[in-house]
């Protein structure tokens, strides 16, 4: 049996047989993190490395697969297995030893970026460039390219029930720009107060406040937004995530949906952030609110979770009374969205490539959710888990008082990134954590939860952890 390999001076001597794949995965990840393996470097063939280390080829194949799942490696090309990217740096206050490791990022809202359909995107890009006209490269229609708006109209009708003709859709740079554009229109109309879910997205709340809106907390319970509390708040607009509420994961109940639209019929505007609507595992689909009352609901969505947030591509469907002003604000923002990414995305929609991609990703993400649930049951058995039926994250709350901000800080020092529930609250409430699972492989999820439990034990000895 070989004692080791010249490649990275790897030596499996003393590693328990059941831990060989994890050991090799960690060693290769560390080599990428510290620069020993640079981006573009080619890994040895799995048979070669297995022979050098005296291991079964299956161990090497499994390690390569895990790192491909994390997006660090690309496998299957003409060059074999290649380093695709370097891991993100660990938090600045982490110890020197931990800085050499890739952080275990369980931030909510972070999708499985390693699953981005690079080959399908490249094929679509080539076909788009072959057919692009000179007119396509001029200053764009501020509403977005007509071809993309046509495809989005059909896609939303088919998958979300949204009723919107192509001319009623405005292409935006993600939901953040949709909120910015709407906020500027509403502030100019002297209706700047907006009800927001509590708990609800801190980022969305801050986004609207930046553009002059005044957020007013409206409580959320197991049925979603409390519409009677919304009435008492006296605001003309409300922002909510009805398909998969952030961060609790609840679905707006049918009775609440009816009550909300009754409220809007009295002169209110519902801003529907269709957050996480594409990812569901244990429940049937929930149609968008917009299809029930198109003139009362502004509907916003994006590709940030289905493809990648870096594309900065989304859509906004608004009632007719606001459309001209929204289009004007969209034009004033940056003269319109870039044409080529719009056309590529339109091709993915028209060809069915996006739907095929989503089917594959749902299977991967569900497996990661299941790994998260198993790890929580093993290492943090006393927490209550919320919102597991859909989405890319879940929420946990504690039976006893835990400083969730301090716990998130302690976890970050151990290289595990989560968000404290308190960050997403306006009124005081039970402590908890908001934890994403889509961006990490199952083995890294299990390791992250074990480290999180260790942080919880050190911070609050009364917490039951294993």
pLDDT at residue 92 in the model: 47
pLDDT one-digit tens code per residue, 5-24: 889 999 999 899 888 999 99
pLDDT one-digit tens code per residue, 131-174: 999 999 999 999 999 999 999 999 999 999 999 999 999 999 99
DSSP symbols for 24-37: HHHHHHHHHHTTSS
3-state helix, strand, coil in the chain (%, to 5): 45, 15, 40
pLDDT one-digit tens code per residue, 204-233: 999 999 999 999 999 999 999 999 999 999
Mean pLDDT of 103-119: 91
Q: Where are the beta strands (DSSP E) in 145-287?
A: 169-172, 193-198, 214-221, 224-225, 237-240, 269-273
Domains of the chain in sequence order: 7-87 (1.10.10.10), 141-337 (3.40.640.10), 355-459 (3.90.1150.10)
Residue 94 has pLDDT above 50, yes or no: no
Tell me the two tokens of residue 7: 């490649």
Give, as one character, the DSSP assignment of residue 390.
Answer: B
Q: How many C-beta atoms surround the C-beta of residue 136 within 10 A? A: 15
Spatial distance between the Cα atoms of 373 and 357, rounded to a whole number of angstroms: 24
| Cβ contact 448:440 at 8 Å | yes
pLDDT at residue 70 in the model: 79
Tell me the two tokens of residue 345: 């995305």
Between 76 and 195, where is the model more confident? 195
pLDDT at residue 100 in the model: 38
Cα distances from 91 to residues 17, 71, 262, in angstroms, run 32, 20, 47
Determine the Cα angle at 277 with ends 276 and 279, to 5°: 70
Residue 90 has pLDDT above 60, yes or no: no
| Average pLDDT, rounded, for the chain | 92
pLDDT at residue 68 in the model: 85
Spatial distance between the Cα atoms of 330 and 57, rounded to a whole number of angstroms: 55
Residue 320 has pLDDT above 80, yes or no: yes
Tell me the two tokens of residue 109: 């809202």
pLDDT at residue 102 in the model: 67
pLDDT at residue 375 in the model: 97
Between 69 and 117, where is the model more confident? 117
Q: Do β-strands 416-417 and 224-225 pair in parallel, antiparallel, or remain unpaired?
A: unpaired
pLDDT at residue 78 in the model: 75
pLDDT one-digit tens code per residue, 351-374: 999 999 999 999 999 999 999 999
Q: Do β-strands 214-221 and 193-198 pair in parallel, antiparallel, or remain unpaired?
A: parallel
pLDDT at residue 5 in the model: 82
Q: Which residues contact 25 (CB under 8 A, 6 or more apart)?
A: 62, 63, 66, 67, 443
């Amino acid at each position: 049996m070989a004692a080791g390999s010249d490649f990275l001076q790897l030596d499996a001597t003393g590693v328990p047989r059941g831990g060989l794949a994890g050991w090799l995965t960690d060693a290769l990840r560390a080599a990428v993190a510290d620069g020993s393996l640079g981006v573009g470097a080619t890994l040895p063939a799995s048979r070669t490395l297995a022979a050098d280390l005296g291991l079964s080829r299956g161990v090497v194949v499994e390690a390569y697969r895990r790192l491909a799942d994390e997006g660090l490696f690309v496998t299957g090309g003409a060059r074999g297995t290649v380093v695709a990217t370097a891991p993100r740096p660990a938090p600045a206050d982490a110890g020197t030893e931990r800085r050499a490791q890739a952080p275990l990022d369980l931030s909510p809202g972070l999708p499985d970026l390693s699953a981005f359909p690079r080959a399908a995107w490249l094929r679509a890009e080539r076909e788009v460039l072959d057919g692009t006209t000179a007119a396509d490269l001029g200053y764009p229609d501020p509403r977005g390219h007509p071809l993309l708006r046509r495809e989005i109209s059909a896609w939303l009708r088919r998958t979300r029930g949204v009723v919107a003709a192509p001319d009623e859709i405005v292409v935006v740079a993600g939901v953040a720009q949709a909120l910015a554009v709407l906020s500027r229109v509403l502030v100019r109309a002297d209706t700047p107060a907006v009800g927001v879910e509590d708990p609800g997205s801190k980022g969305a709340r801050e986004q609207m406040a930046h553009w002059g809106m005044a957020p007013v907390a409206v409580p959320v319970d197991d049925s979603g937004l409390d519409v009677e509390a919304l009435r008492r708040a006296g605001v003309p607009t409300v922002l909510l995530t009805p398909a998969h509420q952030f961060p609790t994961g609840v679905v707006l109940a049918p009775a609440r949906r009816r009550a909300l639209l009754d409220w809007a019929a009295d002169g209110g505007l519902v801003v529907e952030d269709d957050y996480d609507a594409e990812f569901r595992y244990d429940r049937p689909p929930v149609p968008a609110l917009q299809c029930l009352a198109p003139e009362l609901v502004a509907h916003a969505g994006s590709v940030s979770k289905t493809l990648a947030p870096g594309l900065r591509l989304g859509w906004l469907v608004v009632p007719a009374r606001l459309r001209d002003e929204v289009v004007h604000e969209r034009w004033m923002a940056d003269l319109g969205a870039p044409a080529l990414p719009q056309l590529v995305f339109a091709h993915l929609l028209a060809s069915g490539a996006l739907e095929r991609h989503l089917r594959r990703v749902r299977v991967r993400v569900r497996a990661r959710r299941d790994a998260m649930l198993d790890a929580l049951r093993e290492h943090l058995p006393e927490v209550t888990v919320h919102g597991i039926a859909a989405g890319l994250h879940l929420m946990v709350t504690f039976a006893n008082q835990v400083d969730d901000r301090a716990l998130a800080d302690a976890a970050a020092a151990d290289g595990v990134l989560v968000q404290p529930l308190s960050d997403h609250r306006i009124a005081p409430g039970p402590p908890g954590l908001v934890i994403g699972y889509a961006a990490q492989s199952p083995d890294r999820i299990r390791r992250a939860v074990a480290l999180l439990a260790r942080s919880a034990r050190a911070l609050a000895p009364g917490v039951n952890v294993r």
